[in-house]
Amino acid sequence: MVGIEVKAAMTLTEDDFKPLRLFSEVTGKRFHRGVLLYMGSEPLGFGPKLHALPVSALWRLDAQRAKHPVTSR
């Protein structure tokens, strides 16, 4: 299971990860990763399996896929 949260903040604190930490506790071994998308510019780690990524990373991923499309084999 993967938890994804979106915040309109430019900066984050440990408190911003409370919902994802709770989700991790509730799902136990099924928890794979928690991702918090935010308005900042840097990817950040906030502990085991918890990551913050800039929302802009979604657009970069799309641009990378356009440059290197997946082909069927």
pTM, two decimals, is 0.78
Residue 72 maps to a domain: no
Q: pLDDT tens-digit profile of 26-71?
A: 999 999 999 999 999 999 999 899 999 999 988 776 555 556 555 5
Torsion from C-alpha of 5, 35, 49, 3, nearest 10 degrees = 50
Range of the domain at 52: 2-67
Query: Is residue 73 in some structural domain?
Result: no
Q: Is residue 57 in some structural domain?
A: yes
Query: What is the number of domains present in the chain?
Result: 1
* Structural domain contains residue 12: yes
Cα dihedral 12, 18, 23, 25, rounded to 10, equals 130
